[in-house]
Amino acid sequence: MLDPDLLQSTLATAMSTGGEFAEVFVEDRRSTSAVLDDRRIEELSSGRDRGAGIRVVCGETTGFAHTADLSFSGLRAAAETASAAANSGGGGVRQVDLDSSSGPAPAFVRIFPEDVPKARKVALLEQADDAARSTGGAISQVTARYADSQRRIQIANSEGLLTGDHQVRSLFSVSCVASGDTGLQTGRESVGRTAGFELFDEVDVHDLARKAASRALTKLDAVPAPSGEMPVVVGPGGGGVLFHEACGHGLEADLVAKSASVFAGRRGETVAAPSVSLVDDGTMVGEWGRFAVDDEGRPAQRNVLIEDGVLTDYMWDRLRAAREGRQGSGNGRRQSYRFLPMVRMTNTFLEPGSAEPADILAGTDHGVYVAQLGGGQVNTATGDFVFGMTEAYLIKDGCLSAPIRDGNLIGNGPEVLLAIDAIAHDFAMGSPGTCGKDGQGVPVGDGTPTLRVARLTVGGTAA
């Protein structure tokens, strides 16, 4: 990455008009993507993106500029632009002494993806395609995707911080379409971790593909989803996105500060059932949202947001935390050097309870069992949400019954937290995700154990 002397001089330029805080964020990202669709390789690409973003803060004003020119002159020009944008007005040159004692965090990877020939990556796609199609003639289309990325970052700021991180991620997904009397039905399965190509020593893409195909085939026999308020049981790993979207965003300090969160001003209050604890943890080894330091140089940490039903804290970036006279929480993240950091989740999950999953199901006379939720919409100011169910089943007399299709879950995040009446011990993380916020996407994870919501509205088409 960049020489400390170059970073020091860039910070001095950024602070030369009297800013209170300046930061240089350097990024070097390499990535590979391959897509097989309908037995043809539709995409096979590699790329590299390098650059720096420079931020200057003066009071309530932030100036920001980014550049792909990492030379002395390129960085100086960006620093001057950011400084002028902060409108800080006169202050002379300030010398910044960087403390490099922390050093960049290493990537604990056995097989770096860039060392693996593209032919081996393509072979995984072809194997997945064959495995999915072997499950039955009703599978009419298979799309398999491989992706890896290697992201090196370096952060220096006017408080003397000099640190960095090396993040390696690998992802594989399979989507299948099955054709039958109920039309076209889809099934998807994916795996993604902060790991190198050694991921595929642990994950069998044949099994992944067969699971995706099985999901699609099962839905060919699905009945229309019911309508109305009823108990909903969510399977392990299947509903984390609900708590990420309907609850997690409302616990981000920037939305709280704007009063755009239903949880604003509620620290110390009971916001969930006594059995509910919600955590955001960027330190979870191997998980999709894991890193050593965030994009402001703050070490990742485990943040308990709700404990035993009580809202204990929010997630913080540096600026919001400083205004509150506290430290950041390791949640300052950005899509790339072209963007300012903002408060973002990492790996967000409900902690497991002590109930037996089978007992929760057996104790539910009727309702819906959700194995996998899909996308949805959320109003963070109210907590209202709508989520699609990509794999779900009817519950009758405490047992799983017919698969259902064309159904949504409709509700309110805070109300769901209060309506959870059973949590099992079978915790699992869900599929890797990309969380979008204000035009930026970052990798995140989410998870749940089996749990039951006593009352939740199901929007279906059954008569």
**CATH number for the domain that contains residue 131:** 3.30.2290.10
Closest CA to 161 of 296, 63, 55, 341: 296
Residues 108, 242 share a domain: no
The pLDDT value given to residue 231: 99
The pLDDT value given to residue 364: 98
Residues 171, 63 share a domain: yes
Residues 405, 275 share a domain: yes
Closest CA to 211 of 139, 286, 148: 139
**Which letter, b or e, does each residue of 293-311 get, where b requires 16 or more Cβ atoms within 10 Å of its Cβ?**
bbbbbbbbbebebbeebbb
pLDDT, one tens digit per residue, over 152-186 is 999 999 999 999 999 999 999 999 999 999 899 99
Residues 420, 365 share a domain: yes
Residues 261, 201 share a domain: no
Residues 227, 194 share a domain: no
User: Which residue among 219, 251, 275 closes a domain?
Assistant: 219
Residues 104, 200 share a domain: yes
Please say whether the beta carbons of 316 and 303 come within 8 A: no
Sign of the CA dihedral running 141, 114, 27, 325: positive
pLDDT, one tens digit per residue, over 79-96 is 999 999 997 665 554 566
Encoded amino acid at 245, one letter:
E
Half-sphere exposure of residue 39: CA atoms within 13 angstroms, side-chain side = 5
Encoded amino acid at 191, one letter:
V
Residues 239, 196 share a domain: no
Half-sphere exposure of residue 264: CA atoms within 13 angstroms, side-chain side = 13
**CA–CA separation, 34 and 147 (whole Å):** 6
- How many folded domains does the chain comprise? 2
Residues 172, 70 share a domain: yes
**CA–CA separation, 226 and 463 (whole Å):** 8
Residue 26 domain boundaries: 4-219
The pLDDT value given to residue 96: 66
* Token digits of residue 220: 């060919």
**CA–CA separation, 320 and 313 (whole Å):** 13
> Would you list the DSSP string of 203-262?
--HHHHHHHHHHHHHHHTTPEEPP-EEEEEEE-TTTSHHHHIIIIIGGGBHHHHHTT-ST
CB 160: neighbour CB atoms within 10 A? 13
3-state secondary structure of 417: helix
192 backbone dihedrals φ, ψ, rounded to 5°:
-150, 135
* Token digits of residue 442: 């970052």
User: Which residue among 195, 219, 243 closes a domain?
Assistant: 219
- Where the chain has pLDDT below 70, the residues are 88-96, 100-103, 463
3-state secondary structure of 455: strand
Residues 184, 244 share a domain: no
3-state secondary structure of 122: helix
